[in-house]
Every structure is written in C-alpha cells, then in structure tokens.
Amino acid sequence: MEAPLTRLILTLPASLIGEFYPLLQRGFLVTAHVGCTLQRLLCHQWGIAPEYLTTRITTIFLNAKAIDDVASAVVRDGATIALSGAMPGLVGATMRRGGHLAAMRSSMTHQETATGAIDRIGTVRLKLFNILLPELGPEFLKRGLLMSCDEVTAFFRERDETFWKACDGAVLNGTPVGSGLLQSTNPLCTGGTVRLTVNFR
C-alpha cells in the first residue's frame, strides 16, 4: 500500500528564507499539468509574469539541456527544470537563452520533439539558483514542496536553535504541534512523501 502524504506547514519570519536555499537549489518536486510548453507551465500555472521570465530568468535548463525557446519546449512528467538569473563570465553568456554565444553550446541545447508528450497531471523537479532564490523561493515554499520523508527529517536535524526559536508554529496533518516534535530523533514520518509548506511573515 502506498504511504499517505504527510502535510506539514511552518510559519517563520521572512529573514529565515536563506535556511531553505539548499533545498531550493538541490531541487524539489512540484505537482503540475504536464504535456504543455515550458512557457505555459511557468506563466500560466506558476504565475510567473512574462516580463519577469524575459528579463530575470535568463538561463533555463530542461533535463540538463539549455532552453532557448520556452514557447516550444514541452515539459513531460518527471522532467527536471533549473531556473537561474544571469550568471557571470563566459559560461553565463554562453548559457543565456537567446544570447549571441548560444551557438557555442549546440550539443547542450534542448532540441524539441513532441513524441511522448502526454497531457496529464504529473510532477516535475524544480531547481532555483542565485537571484531567483529570494525572488521566487518564498512563493514556491508557500505553494508547498514535495519531498521524501528522509529529506525533510535530515533538513530539520541540520537546523540550529535560532531557527526553532523563530518558528511561530507548525501544523502536521491539520494538527498544531510543537517544534520539539520536529527536532526529535524520531522520524517525522515513515516513508512516503511530505508536502512542506512555509508561510513567511
């Protein structure tokens, strides 16, 4: 039998957003309507403004391949998407979508084929980097990150006393719990998936 989904909601001060940067960079699962273009996923489903997509998200990777055209790249179930702002140096200029050095990475550029694209509800793994961490991170944390039980347990064990003192509250599967439960040596859950939601004040 599949393990049930564990739902955990935290309330924290906005100053602690940096505590979640490692999770956001390593990647987390998000439920999404797949089989659509990357542009539709980012703008229509996740609410990213087209202007922000154009001016701030300058580097995009889909399954480790650089993306130049978000309107044609199709996202399939299980895909990995990495979003980044401008990166410095020659590497940054080469990876920038639509940049004049894009031809230098032809072997690393995503080539779209519609084969196997199924319109359905699925999950994608999302990774955020540099300026997008403070700008987009809070919104995705508010929506909820899907993570394994082991990942969440390890994350909590690495937090220090400052983090826990600042935590205004936690709700586990609809029931308020003390932060001591999350810090305990006992696992938060036994297998399955955790939807970690963080509300910043």
Range of the domain at 129: 6-200
pLDDT digits (tens, 9 = 90+) for 152-170: 988 998 999 999 999 988 9
Q: What is the pLDDT of residue 185?
A: 65
147 domain-assigned: yes
Which residue positions in the chain have pLDDT lower than 50? 89-93, 100-101, 105, 107-108, 110
1 domain-assigned: no
Q: What is the pLDDT of residue 43?
A: 97
| Distance in angstroms (rounded) separating the CA atoms of residues 26 and 198 | 17
Q: What is the pLDDT of residue 112?
A: 58
Question: How many domains does the chain fold into?
Answer: 1
103 domain-assigned: yes
Query: Apex CA 33: angle with CA 31 and CA 38, to 5°?
Result: 105
49 domain-assigned: yes
